[in-house]
Amino acid sequence: MTGLRRRSLLAWLAAGPGVAAAETASEIRLRELMAQRAARVNDPRVDQAAAMADRAALLATGEAALVRGDTDAAQLAFERAAALLHAADTEMGLVRTWLQAGEYRRALAFCAHTAGGHREAAAPGALYAWLLRLGGQLDAGRRTLALAQSRWAGDAVVDATARQLASAWPVADGVLLDTPHRMAPQPTGDTLPAGHRVVASGVRVAPGRVLVPARSVAAASMWVRDGLGRAATATVERVDTDLGIAVLAAPGHPAGLAARDPFAGSPGYTVAFSEGGDAAWPWLHAGFLGASDRVARRRRLGIDAPAGAAGGGVFNAAGQFAGLRDGDSWLPVSALAPLLAGIEPAAPVTVRVGADEVYENVLGSMVQLIVTG
Partner 1 sequence: MKISRLAAALAVAACSLAHAGPTVTVKVIGFNDFHGNLQSPGTFGVNTTVPAAQRPAVGGAEFVAAAVARLKAGNPNNVVVGAGDFIGASPLVSALFFDEPSIESLNQIGLEFNAVGNHEFDKGSAELRRLQNGGCKATRGVPDPNSCRGLGSGAPGTFDGAKFKWLSANVVETATGRTLLPAYGIKTFNGVKVAFIGMTLKATPSIVTPTGVAGLTFNDEAATVNALVPKLRAQGIESIVVLVHQGGFQSSPNLGDINGCDGNLAVAGGGASDIGNIVAKLDNAVDLVISGHTHAAYNCSAGTVDVRSVAGAVTVTPRPTGLPNKVGRLVPVTSASAFGRVLTDVDLTIDTATRDVVSVAATNRLVDRTDPALIQAVATNPTTKNLVDGYAALASPLAGQVIGTITTALPNTANAAGEMPAGSLIADAQLMATQPAGLGGAVAAFMNPGGVRNPGFTGAAYPYALTYGDAFTTQPFGNSLVTMTLTAQQLKDLLEQQFVGCNGQTGQRILQVSNGVKYSWSASAAPCAKVVDLSLTPTDVSVVPPVSTGVAEEIVRAGLVLNPTKTYRVTVNNFLATGGDGFTVLTGGTAVLGGAQDIDALIAYLSSGYKAPAPAYDPADPALKLPRITRLP
Which residues contact partner 1 (rule: CB under 8 A)?
41-42, 44-45, 48, 50-51, 71-72, 75-76, 79-80, 83, 86, 98, 101, 103, 105-106, 108-110, 112-117, 119, 132, 135-140, 263-267, 286-288, 290-291, 300, 302, 304, 354-355
Instruction: Specify the residue, 37 or 45, whose C-beta has the smaller distance to partner 1.
Output: 45
Q: In this complex, which beta carbon is closest to partner 1, that of residue 58 or of residue 310? A: 58
- In the complex with partner 1, the residue whose CB is nearer, 224 or 258, is 258
User: What distance in Å separates the CA atoms of residue 139 and residue 235, rounded to the nearest whole number?
Assistant: 39
Cis peptide before 332 (omega within 30 of 0): no
Closest contact distance (angstroms) between CB of 330 and partner 1 is 15
- CA angle (205 as vertex; 202, 209 as ends), nearest 5: 80
Cβ distance to partner 1 smaller for residue 87 or 206 = 87
Report how far apart the first and last C-alpha atoms of the chain are (Å, whole number).
34
- Locate all alpha helices (DSSP H) within 152-303, ordered by sequence: 156-165
Instruction: Identify the CA nearest to 69 among candidates 178, 229, 223.
Output: 229
Q: What radius of gyration, in Å, describes the C-alpha atoms of the chain?
A: 21
Could you tell me the smallest distance in angstroms from the CB atom of residue 289 to partner 1?
A: 8
List beta partners, residue 206.
209
- Residue 352 beta carbon to partner 1: minimum distance, rounded to whole angstroms: 8
Q: How far is the CB of 13 from partner 1 (least distance, A)?
A: 21
Neighbours of 12 (CB within 10 A): 19
DSSP state at residue 45: G
* Residue closest to 88 by CA, chosen among 44, 120, 45, 126: 120
- In the complex, what is the shortest distance from the CB of residue 51 to partner 1, in angstroms, rounded to a whole number? 4
Q: How far is the CB of 315 from partner 1 (least distance, A)?
A: 13
CB of 146 within 8 A of CB of 116?
A: no
Nearer to partner 1, 221 or 334 (CB): 334
* Rounded distance between C-alpha atoms, residue 268 and residue 270, angstroms: 7
d(CA 262, CA 240): 23
CB of 84 to partner 1, least distance (A): 8
Closer residue to partner 1 in complex, CB, 95/192: 95
Task: Compare residues 56 and 210 and give the one whose CB is closer to partner 1.
Answer: 56
282 CB contacts (<8 Å, ≥6 apart)? 134, 201, 227, 271, 272, 273, 362, 363, 366
